[in-house]
Structure 1
């Protein structure tokens, strides 16, 4: 999927949209069919909805936007709108709601999808409505489903019981040419005004000046982070912000989530498998405060959102801003670890084909990367098509994550895509890389 969508004929665009809808639904079905009814309706963590809620919510959003709004059709189940409104009910409260059972949920989402395919057959993509230009409403719903699929994958990581998901191992890592990359800085075009399926907070494109900085070539690994743990990082207040230290005390944090010591050896649990801690994989399931503390301990800091995107997109040779680190080509398996293909981050150095022109690697896929930036609107921001996607979240409560994880689909994994969460969250597939200001000797 790329910004050449506008070059497609209506028939080609229809076929492309149908393929994306099919792909996302196949993933949803895999994530829900892999567990039994009890697992579907159980709440595996108060941080997460029951899987059956996510499943019906996916269908309800599809009905609201594509069946009713774009299609102008009669509602399928107007009576359940409030049940599946994410703003009406906190996740912790959703199990107590009179939700559709798994059988009802499956038949509901199938009925909605049948109607959506009929709407798709008849919609005019150039009918003057911004919502349907270049198939935007369909793209928004595909991305919504894929984002919930990643959320459901995180729920799978939290469930107990025997493993139910499987995938091949990612490609091996390699020795890196350098641990850090000097970035000369400059002015680049941040965000986008031309990606047809980009969401409102990614828009509009605007020039940003970035001062010179140094950034890690790859995300921080488990082995690197283990040194911080073993060095007493969680016991030393000096590395933590005031809010971070308060959270460490309150939550009794001693290591990343899903890490344990067994017989003197560090292990981690991944989708029901207990395994030796893989030292060469990017660290996962750390909150913003942990990332921030590690960076300070290492004599560095977290990159700003602007620095992250500059490293991912700027091409110093041409002076232009690329779509992806490797160019304008849609992500392939040679570029990045995406789409639940491997069910774990790849070892550092596994994707030389995904490097940016500056030589920064694994910026897309593997793990979401915490930045030091709050979620704020870009200059000229306009809420579209509804305030609740971004507008209501702007402010200092949320920190920006960039790049996508192994559970993020390619349709979401734009280098302009902005994810956000509370700084205490650890159930998401989040890691980080560090940055620092250059030394005077590095500026000459």
Structure 2
């Protein structure tokens, strides 16, 4: 880390508290949508996670509130029940955060920092602030000026990426998650990838052209989801600037849009190859405004080893979750690396996700 562990933890906590500073306790304590946690659950979960890893497991101290461990464990208490059980109120969650941080600083003074664990906890908190923004957006609680989705500038069109091998995954010597490792050579065929994400204006052309009515553009699962939930348009595409990236589209919608456009979604290997390719071409533009869906299922790389706990990645492997790449306007730069892998279910729309198209190379 370029910052010390204490500096990093302090900066991240200031970011978390600033995120919710404009909200009153009632907004923090209500569940705005069954899909999301009450914001106060996230705050207490951040405290419980820090206490578990930096005080209990690292420093060997007893948990501050062992009676709260299951309540603020993401697997023991799923989102579907978090709005129905008794939670710490907003003042109680803030006190929990303060008390755990005092314990963490004492542990660092006594044992010194562990670069991996302290960075993991800092990044865990940053991931939750993005999740909290998802809930805030659903509840109309985002701070003034958010979201930061800027109109796209620069050249449009395609990048032609030649066939070749590249080293995929995070390099040694810097923090990375277990699902980014081990770094391994991947052979990728030639492909084209859009220089920019799809805009709201282009998405509206898809909608007006029958995008949500034409069965041939949808997978069987996507069509069933669309029909079951009466999905007829993307509200954010209609409300946003026409030249800004489309946001809050599901994988099912992204896949249908790609078929309509005559393209496809990139594999995550293609996405990472394009994002890290530096052969004198222009880089991908506007990476980091919206997460970008790929066609890939979330799984482990060859030689994957779960670390430091299998619930971070391994329990999500299989053919349920699709990979997203690149980061969004709500993603801290500490997380938004070219090797970071996000994942979600293909029907989810709450994530700040858009589309960057790929295509096979043109035949001369």
Q: TM-score range by the shorter chain?
A: over 0.9
Structure 1 match to 2:13: 25
**Whole-Å separation in 2 of the counterparts to 1:297 and 1:184:** 25
Counterparts of residues 61-140 of structure 1 (less than 5 Å): 61-124=49-112, 132=114, 135-140=115-120
Confirm or deny: 8 A CA contact 1:28 1:149 kept in the other structure: yes
Q: Is 1:316 aligned to 2:279, yes or no?
A: yes
- Unaligned runs of at least 5 residues, structure 1: 6-14, 126-131, 260-265, 269-276, 318-356
**Of 211, 214, 219, which residue of structure 2 is paired with 1:233?**
211
Confirm or deny: 8 A CA contact 1:204 1:381 kept in the other structure: yes
Structure 2 match to 1:215: 193
- CA deviations over 1:171-200 (Å, ceiling 9, x no partner): 764341x41111112000000241532000
Structure 1 match to 2:283: 359
**Of 41, 60, 65, which residue of structure 1 is paired with 2:48?**
60
Confirm or deny: 8 A CA contact 2:197 2:357 kept in the other structure: yes
SS in 1 for 2:320: strand
Structure 2 match to 1:411: 334
**Of 221, 230, 255, which residue of structure 2 is paired with 1:252?**
230
**Whole-Å separation in 2 of the counterparts to 1:167 and 1:235:** 32
- For residue 17 of structure 1, report the CA deviation from its aligned partner: 1.7
SS in 2 for 1:99: coil
Confirm or deny: 8 A CA contact 1:284 1:430 kept in the other structure: yes
Measured on the aligned residues, the alpha-carbon RMSD in Å equals: 1.8
Q: Is 1:201 aligned to 2:179, yes or no?
A: yes
**Whole-Å separation in 1 of the counterparts to 2:310 and 2:148:** 40
Confirm or deny: 8 A CA contact 1:183 1:358 kept in the other structure: no
Structure 1 residues 167 and 157, CA gap change in structure 2 (3 angstroms): closer
- CA deviations over 1:145-189 (Å, ceiling 9, x no partner): 00000001111101147x64436967764341x411111120000
Confirm or deny: 8 A CA contact 2:192 2:361 kept in the other structure: yes
Confirm or deny: 8 A CA contact 1:214 1:438 kept in the other structure: yes
**Of 266, 270, 280, which residue of structure 1 is paired with 2:243?**
280
**Of 350, 353, 356, which residue of structure 2 is paired with 1:433?**
356
- CA deviations over 1:57-97 (Å, ceiling 9, x no partner): 00000000001111112321111000001101221211221
**Whole-Å separation in 1 of the counterparts to 2:102 and 2:22:** 23
Confirm or deny: 8 A CA contact 1:53 1:94 kept in the other structure: yes
**Whole-Å separation in 1 of the counterparts to 2:180 and 2:107:** 28
SS in 2 for 1:224: helix
SS in 2 for 1:208: strand
SS in 1 for 2:64: coil
- For residue 217 of structure 1, report the CA deviation from its aligned partner: 0.3
SS in 1 for 2:223: helix
- For residue 136 of structure 1, report the CA deviation from its aligned partner: 0.5
- CA deviations over 1:324-378 (Å, ceiling 9, x no partner): xxxxxxxxxxxxxxxxxxxxxxxxxxxxxxxxx4532123x10000000000100
- Unaligned runs of at least 5 residues, structure 2: none
Structure 2 match to 1:390: 313
Q: How many residues align?
A: 364
Structure 1 residues 66 and 257, CA gap change in structure 2 (3 angstroms): farther
SS in 2 for 1:440: coil
- Which segment is superposed worse, 249-258 or 98-107? 249-258
**Whole-Å separation in 1 of the counterparts to 2:319 and 2:204:** 30
| TM-score, scaled to structure 2 | 0.96
Structure 1 residues 408 and 160, CA gap change in structure 2 (3 angstroms): closer
**Whole-Å separation in 2 of the counterparts to 1:160 and 1:214:** 38
Confirm or deny: 8 A CA contact 2:272 2:339 kept in the other structure: yes
